[in-house]
């Protein structure tokens, strides 16, 4: 049964989601800077790429609060603190947070919105939850490669792409510098990550 939006739990859940996505964007931007300082430019770009998607999610939730413009929505919530100098640890933390949104948080928010009669909000929660699952798999695959020391090296032949110029390198390991543009190896990304990125620069 539909209820007044201003008295709804959905209103608060949308603001919680907006806050969560905004914080995720900042965490990933900070993590990108950590990766850049360590010379892992491709991982930095993946964090930034994901951060921009989190901004889009925040914008979608914020748009659903437009009818309350000028008001203040009071919420309470818990948000993660994920400090580490280890990129694998940062990626694992991000993976955990994304999967928690996918499996628990946004499913519950979507169910509440549906129950309260706010079907557009419910749809947004469910659809964005599916994207968060993609984010979680992306971060998990990256962490696995770093943990197994296979991001830049393989026992058999692998393929990597330089994000600066698009050069594709095939072999057992990434060269120290790209033979085409002379950027350092931190710009190379394993081509096998393409399904986890779903973006133009890997097609």
Confidence check: pLDDT of 6 > 50: yes
Q: How many residues does the chain have?
A: 203
For the stretch 119-158, pLDDT in tens is 999 999 999 999 999 999 999 999 999 999 999 999 999 9
Phi/psi of residue 8, each to 5°?
Answer: -90, 155
Residue 1: band (very low, low, confident or very high) from pLDDT cuts 50, 70, 90: low
Whether the CB-CB separation of 167 and 49 falls below 8 Å is answered with no
pLDDT for the residue numbered 198: 59
pLDDT for the residue numbered 196: 75
Q: Which residue has the higher pLDDT, 77 or 47?
A: 47
Confidence check: pLDDT of 62 > 70: yes
Walk me through the domains of the chain, giving residue ranges and CATH numbers: 5-147 (1.20.1260.10), 153-202 (2.20.28.10)
For the stretch 16-33, pLDDT in tens is 999 999 999 999 999 999
For the stretch 92-119, pLDDT in tens is 999 999 999 999 999 999 999 999 999 9
Confidence check: pLDDT of 2 > 70: no
**139 Cβ contact list (under 8 Å, min separation 6):** 50, 91, 92, 94, 95, 98
Confidence check: pLDDT of 200 > 50: no
Confidence check: pLDDT of 40 > 80: yes
pLDDT for the residue numbered 197: 73
Where are the strands (E) in the chain, listed by range? 153-162, 168-173, 188-190
Site of tokens 């990129």: 87
Confidence check: pLDDT of 43 > 80: yes
pLDDT for the residue numbered 193: 86
Which whole number is the average pLDDT over 170-192?
Answer: 95
| CA distances for 86 relative to 54, 141, 146, angstroms | 22, 15, 10
Which whole number is the average pLDDT over 170-181?
Answer: 96
- Residues of the chain above pLDDT 70, percent: 96
Which whole number is the average pLDDT over 154-167?
Answer: 93
């Amino acid at each position: 049964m539909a209820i007044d939006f201003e008295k709804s739990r959905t209103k608060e859940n949308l603001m919680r989601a907006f806050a969560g996505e905004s914080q995720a964007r900042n965490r990933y931007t900070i993590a990108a800077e950590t990766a850049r300082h360590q010379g892992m430019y491709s991982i930095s770009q993946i964090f930034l790429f994901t951060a921009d998607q989190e901004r889009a999610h925040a914008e979608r939730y914020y748009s659903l609060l437009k009818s309350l413009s000028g008001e203040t929505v009071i919420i309470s919530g818990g948000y993660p603190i994920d400090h580490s100098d280890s990129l694998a640890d940062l990626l694992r933390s991000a993976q955990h947070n994304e999967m928690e949104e996918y499996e628990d948080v946004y499913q519950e928010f979507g169910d509440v919105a549906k129950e309260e009669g706010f079907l557009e909000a419910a749809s947004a929660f469910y659809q964005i939850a599916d994207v968060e699952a993609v984010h979680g798999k992306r971060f998990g695959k990256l962490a696995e490669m770093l943990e197994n020391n296979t991001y830049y090296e393989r026992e058999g032949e692998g393929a990597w792409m330089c994000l600066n110029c698009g050069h594709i390198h095939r072999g057992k390991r990434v060269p120290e510098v790209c033979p085409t543009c002379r950027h350092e190896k931190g710009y190379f990304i394993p081509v096998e990550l393409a399904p986890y990125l779903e973006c133009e620069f890997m097609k």
